[in-house]
Structure formats: C-alpha cells, structure tokens
Structure 1
Amino acid sequence: MEHVGPGVRDVRVGAGARAGADPDGPAGRPAGRPAPGGHPVSRDGARPVSTLGWLTLALGAALGGTGWWFGWVELASAGVALLAAFGVGLVLAVGRSTYAVELDLSGDRVRVGQRAVGRIAVRNTSRRRLLPAQVELPVGRGAADFDLPSLGPGAEHEDVFAVPTSRRGVVVVGPVRSVRGDPIGLVRRRLRWTDPVDLYVHPETMPLDGAGSGVLRDLEGQATRTISDSDMSFHALRDYVAGDDRRHIHWRTSARLGELMVRQFEDTRRTHTALALSTRPGDYADADELELAISVTASIAVQALRDEREVTVLAGEGRLRTDSPVRLLDDVAALEPADAQRGSADLAGWVARQVPHASVAILVVGSTPTEAELRASTRVIPAGVRAVALVCDRRGEVGVRTDDSLTLVRVPSLADLPRALRRAVVA
C-alpha cells in the first residue's frame, strides 16, 4: 500500500474556544470515527458557491454582455475570463470522493499547558486515483488546513498535529472535512467525514495531601449540638431511666452517689464538605483571578474525593459530578462564567438549600466582595456548620481571619493554597 508520511504542526485553538457538541453530529456514532464504506458522514450545510463566486459570475456576465453589445472587445474578454474562472471552479468542485478518514487523539483529557497530539489518516477506498484536495480540521474557534495529495487506489496519507492548551476549557476538535474547489475560493464543496471529538482541558490543581485534613477532617467525625444516648463524643452524666443501655452506666459515679448514672453523648457525623464557587465575573478583578478560584475549588474537591470524603460541589448552573476526580474535572473544564449565574452573595444560601446536612461550607470567591458582605451572606448557614470563605486575591498575601461565624482565608496563588489551609486549621 502506498503511504505518505505525516507532517507535524501546531494547530491554534482560536480565542475564546469553549465546549459545545456539534449540533449536526449524528447520534450513535462514536466521535472521531470514520463513516462506514468510505462514504461521508454528511454534506456541509454551507452553499458551495461563495459570495466571491457569485460576484465573479455576475460581474463576468455583465462585462461580457456589455462588451458584446457595444462591440468592446477588451470588456468582453474580461467578462469571458471571469466566467472561465468560475467554470474552472465548478469543474474542480464536482466529482465523487471516496475516502476512509480517521481522527485520533492520543488522549481526550489534558492538563492546561500540555499539548494534545492527534492524527488524521485519509485512505483512498476507490479503484481510481483521486485528485489533490484539501482537508479542513476545525479546532475550537480556529481551524487548520492540510493539503491532501493525489492518492492512488488504496493509498493512505497521514498528518500529525498538536493542539497547544493555554486555558481551561472543552475544545471541540473536528469534524474532519474534505474541501474540493478552486484555489481562489469561488466554488468549494465540503464533505464531512468524521464526528467531532471533545478535548477536555483540565485546570491546574495543587495536591493538598495532609494540608486540607484540618478543614476536611473526619477521623472522629465532627461534634454537633444534638444530644444522643450512644455516640463517640462524651457530653455529661444523667440519671438512669428504665430502658437505658447498661453498657453506658458510669459505675464509679453511681457508687459514689448511690444511684445509677449513665453517660450522655453529643451526636457526631461524618464530614460532608460543601464547596460553592462563584462564577460571576463581577466577583473577580480579572479573568486570571477567576481561573485561580476554579483551580482552588478543583484542588480541594479532588483531594476530598481521593481521601474518600463526601463532597458536594456547586458551581455554574448546578451541582458538578463528584463520582470520580476525572468526571469532576471534566465538569470544571466546561464551566462558563456568566453575569446571570450565582455570585458571592448567593453562595451561602445555595449551600443551605442544596446541602442542608453539610458539616463544612467552603465558599470560593474573588477579591471584589468585601469582608462585611461575605460575613453578612453567611448568616443563613445553619448553626454548627463551619463556614470558610476562600478569597482568591492575586494581588494580596496569604492571610487568615476568623470569628465565631466565619473563617476568612486569602489565597494569592495556587501554590499558596496548602499553606493557607494549614493556617486556617490553626486559626
């Protein structure tokens, strides 16, 4: 089989590229897989004749007709040349292409800053030689064009590309389209050969190890104000009543007082951490500060999942998936900040409604809200729930302030998160 070697190139994603499923993608076909039998998945919905093509056709007809009518040979020749160029474009665009096209990514999940490497393989499945064409690969809001040489029967051509990632997000790679037409772009015929592939660009995270154990503690549970007759946290002694478990009788005190006394306990519960992230741009000084808050939230949530602690993450339009760190990071990658979403003033109430049994509420915000506003917003958090506000302030310093209702922690960078959490534990 004839084989043409690949050429490696970087593909720019395009400014502001974010996730989005291809609305024209057919259901039931795995993303990036070729259509069966060498037939295209679908034809491009765009019209084959471009605006420039229609202008060329209209101008050629006008110049040719006017030159012929008035006997102006030069004008008629110019019109004929334009019409001929349009005709050549039509000839180059027609014809049947039979390709087997594969779009493969080395991995559909990368961390921000890493490069995702992919491959496009095009094979001629017909019994005749195919003319040169062009392969178009959309990547986010950008696109890359690959030259496809003339391929004989069974011949295959490969192109290797790399997608640099500098921002968190979900980048849609593909679908692969073949483009036939003239070099000027008067007439272009596009056929789509694969489905798109979602490339998840996860945010940068910081391993916390033991740093977060103070905030997310659950070795012995967290004591509540609810009194019970059987638990781990001793509260007081009381008189024995019929039906009490004799194992809880405090015999030494009973012997001293001459009557039976039993132990009474405070209820304990397993730590349930509620993380609420503000995705309203107005709560942040700039976009980088918002990305810092997203990375902070992801770091704490991933550490909680790895430590097998119960955690609920509220961000964007609702809850994020917390059944595994990978699914959580996929949802974090797809977060789209918007002014209509919940801000710092709404986070505490959101936690109180969605996670009423939380034992620790961590609110992640930017530097714009004031300390007084944060303290006022946390009044709706039930008594007994530890409230921690993580303020991401890239221009500040690590700092911790605490009172009876709220612990305020300032985090200037992701590298400072472990140290800030350690100081929050001591405070």
Structure 2
Amino acid sequence: MSLKSSAGKARAVLARPFHRNGAPTALHPTSLWAEAVKVVRLYLAPVWDKFASWSGRYVRPVVSSVSALGAVVIGAVVLLWILGASFGWQEAKVAALLGSLLVLIAIAFIVGSSMYAVTLDLARTRVAVGDNAVGSIAVTNTSPRPVLPAALELPVGRATALFHLPRMKPGAVHEDLFTIPTTRRAVITVGPVRSVRADPLYLLRRQVLWTEPTELFVHPRTTALDGPAAGFLKDLEGLPTKELSNADIAFHALRDYVPGDDRRHIHWKTTARTGKMMVRQFEETRRAHMAVALSVNTDEYERDEDFELAISAAASLGRQAIKEARELSVVTQSGPIRCETGKNMLDDMTRLAGSTRRGTALQLARSLADSVPNASVVFFVVGSKVTPSQLRSAAASVPPGVRSFAIRCYSGAQSARANIADLTVLTLGDLGDLAAVLRKAIA
C-alpha cells in the first residue's frame, strides 16, 4: 500500500457522513477518537512494515550478538564519553577509549562468514528409557579457502553440548559422535546445530543456525507379556455375556421351537426323542475390546517412580493388545491416547504429564464407561493412594458383564492379588512382575 493511497483512504474516513434517521449528526468524541486512530493506522501501517522489515534484517542480528557483559561495557563506554566531554575528565576519556578498543577488537573476532554444510543425524528418534540415543554431527567446509578453528553448539533439551572444530581445508569433513543419556521418559528437542564466534572476553557472540531441531522420544519402559500372560489376554476373545441370542457361537441351552426360528438351529436328536421341535439357544459373545484407564493424578501416587511404573504398565498392556491386533482404548484424565499403532500410543504416553489438578480415578472410571461402552475387559491403572472404597465405586461404574481389573502401582511392593466384589485388584511393585501378576489374576 502506497502513502498516496493511504492518505486517500484517510480522507475518505474523515469525510464519511454520519446520519441518524436520515439527518447528519455531529461526531461523538469517542467516535472522533476512533476515526483518528484509524487515520493514524492507515498512515503508519506501511511505514511500520518497512521499519520492521529493515530492523529484522539489520538491527536484530546486531543486537542479538551483544552479550550481557558486552551491553554493560558498551553502556559504560557511552557514559564515560559523555562524562569526559561534559566535564573535561581526562581519566573518563582514557577509560572510554580503552573500552572502545575492546569493542572494536571483539567486532574483529565475529566479522566474516563461515561456509559449512552441517548434517545432524540421530540413529533412532525413538528409544526406551535406559537405552542410549546415538547421533553424529558431520561438518564439511564448503568454502574455497581454509577456515579457522570454531565451536559448534548442540542444544539437547535444557543442556547444551559443545563441539570444537579444528582448522579445516576446503572440502574437509569433520565428524563427531555423541550419545544422549535417557534416564527418564521425555520428549527431548535436539538441535538446531549452531556455530558460535566470540571474542576472548565474550563481549560479542555471533551464532548461525545450520540445522532444524529434531525431537527425540524417550518412550516408557515396557515388558513383554508373552506366554501365560498373553494367553490370559487371548482368553478374553469372544467373552460370553449373560444376554441370550438365537445365533452365536457360545451354546447355552435348548428351548421350544417358535415360528420364525431358523431351522438350521433345530436340534434334531432332542426333537426325535421328545417329539417336540427344539432349537438351540446361545449366549451372545462380544469381540475382545480392551480398555485401559490410566490415572495421571499425581495425588494418587506415593512417588514419581510409582507414576512412571503406572505408565509403563499401561503401555505394556496396550502394546500386547496392538501386537495381537485387538481393539484397544486408552483414556486418561487428559483425554484419550491414540492407539492406531504402537508408535502413536507410545508417543502419546511419552508426552503424558501428571498433575494434581486432574480428576480422581473414580471420575476417570465414570468417563471411561461413557467413552468406551463396548469394552469387554477394563484395566484401571492407579496409584497406591486409591482406597478400596474408591476402587469399589470405580468397578460399579463398569457395565454388567464387563470383566474389570485394577492394577495398583507401588514401587518395591510385593506382588499380590485381592478381590473387591467383582473387581480383581492386583498390586504391582516392579514392571518385570507384570506378567506374573496377570497370571495370578486367573489362578
């Protein structure tokens, strides 16, 4: 937008008539102020856009290269020059001159451009807790002349790794390997790789970004549920219900024939023996649909380790269900977890954060009954502070005919099994005991 067109629009705004019931009216002070603001915006908008573009291209890089110490030194130099010129203090002028020389020397260290080709490569972007994430940085000198030694910085989460580049000839390649410790579940942002130039006093510091940031997912630990534990989950397939049906796979009893019944279900041996038409009656079965309710309310856990154990237990159950191509739903107080693939599920569980402001396990159980009404088996994964009465109320929210279990996570506790009405309560003290705990559920 040109200044000429802006001025024309401004005049049109001021000349706009104000009518009420067909008659011109005087401008209200508020309306006049609003119109004046519009005029100022129309005039200043193109000027401000040009200034913002210019400052972003030239001013911002200069300002960002000044360190905190450099800003103090530059401010002191300006102040000393003013004092020396105003009061004739020779000492202030000498100090200002020395400070100016330091700033000029610092500028000499950061001027110039470096021509690098930098590649950041993470061998795996998804690892489990305890596995080392290995990566490499490859730097190639693409300039036609040698480059002086420099430093590269690699932000890794909140920390920063420093790599020293030697003097490199044209076309030379320097590669550094690094490992990232993965002691806790987290999403770690790695990068971007940046080259840094600074003077010896760190008055000025110039950096150039060479790569894009990469996310490293440190998934929660999981354990395999093969063998008897997996067999326990397979037994849930086709779980019979108490609802009767005229056609299914779970035979229930015989009853008298009613006109309209399918003749294929007539039991001919009994019909011949009794002289009456008898048909088979079945119990309805439902395909196994596992629902996992994982509480993320940290008030229900004794320690942070218990919360991580609960996430690992829920992830292990979900991973086994996905491995066997079963329907799976995982819900938390924060919302549902994606379960299309194991990678999606573990990624979402990696991002989970506990909070004391979340709802209780009982509220989670009630929301689960509404969001997953067709579940055939339900696992409540909770902390040790959830009381038996709360578990009983949570089990009561599950529809009749749905098998329900509660896994109370308490690091270091002995594995145990108990029953609260129709709810089977399992105590888990170590992730490696999960398969054994599940075996106890059917013992």
TM range (shorter): 0.7 to 0.9
Q: Which moved more, 1:251-260 or 1:370-379?
A: 251-260
1:334-388 residue CA offsets vs partner (Å, 9 max, x unmatched): 2222234443122211221221100001010111111111211232211111111
Which residue of structure 1 aligns with residue 194 of structure 2?
177
Q: Is the 8 A contact 1:229 1:263 kept in 2?
A: yes
| Cα distance between partner residues in 2 of 1:44 and 1:280 | 45
Q: CA deviation at 1:67?
A: 5.5
Q: Distance in 1 between matches of 2:231 and 2:398?
A: 20
What percent of counterpart residues are identical?
A: 46
Question: What is the TM-score when the length of structure 2 is the normalising length?
Answer: 0.81
- Call closer, same or farther: CA 1:341–1:219 in 2, change over 3 Å: closer
Q: 1:116 to 1:158 in 2, by over 3 A?
A: same
Match of 1:290 in 2: 307
| Alpha-carbon separation, structure 2, partners of 1:347 and 1:210 | 31
The alignment status of 1:398 with 2:415, answered yes or no, reads yes
- The counterpart of 2:259, out of the listed 236, 242, 245, is 242
Mapping 1:75-86, distance limit 5 Å: 75-86=92-103
CA pair 214-385 structure 1, distance change in 2 beyond 3 A: farther
After superposition, the CA RMSD in angstroms is 2.2
2:74 is equivalent to residue 57 of structure 1: yes
Q: Who is 2:52 aligned against?
A: none
Q: Is the Cα contact below 8 Å between 2:412 and 2:430 reproduced in 1?
A: no
Match of 1:174, as an amino acid? G
Contact 2:392 2:420 (C-alpha < 8 Å) held by counterparts: no
* Pair 1:112-2:129 in alignment: yes
Distance between the aligned counterparts of 1:52 and 1:253, measured in 2? 98
1:408 match: 425
SS state at 2:97 partner: helix
Number of residues paired by the alignment? Answer: 384
Say whether the 8 Å CA contact 2:110–2:197 is kept in structure 1. yes
CA distance in 1 between counterparts of 2:235 and 2:221 reads 26
In 1, the alpha carbon distance for the partners of 2:420 and 2:302 equals 26
Instruction: Measure, in 2, the Cα distance between the counterparts of 1:380 and 1:325.
Output: 28
> Hey, what does 2:368 align to over in structure 1?
351
CA contact (8 A) 1:218 1:270 kept: no
Change in 2 beyond 3 A, CA 1:204/1:45: farther
Report the equivalent of 2:293: 276
Partner Cα distance (1:127, 1:185) in 2: 29
Instruction: Give the unaligned 5+ runs of structure 2.
Output: 1-59
Unaligned ranges ≥5, structure 1? 1-42
Which protein has the bigger helix share? 2
| Offset at residue 46 of structure 1 (A) | 7.7
Cα contact 2:410–2:429 (8 A) shared by 1:
yes
Q: What is the TM-score normalised by the length of structure 1?
A: 0.84
Contact residue 182 and residue 188 of structure 1 kept, 8 A: yes
* Secondary structure of 1:216's aligned partner: helix
Letter in structure 1 aligned against 2:301 = Y
Aligned to 1:135: 152
Name the CA distance, whole Å, in 2 between partners of 1:410 and 1:183. 60
Query: Once the 2 structures are TM-superposed, how far is the Cα of residue 163 of structure 1 from its aligned partner?
Result: 0.6
Q: 2:224 aligns with which of 203, 207, 214?
A: 207
Deviation track 1:51-82 (CA, whole Å, cap 9, x = no partner) reads 21110112233345545766665554443332
1:130 Cα offset (Å): 2.8
8 Å CA contact retained: 2:84, 2:93: yes
Q: Does 1:100 align with 2:117?
A: yes
The alpha-carbon distance between structure 1 residues 214 and 388, as it changes in their structure 2 partners (threshold 3 A), is farther
Q: Structure with the greater relative contact order (CA < 8 A, sep ≥ 6): 1 or 2?
A: 1
Distance 1:258 1:164, change over 3 A: same
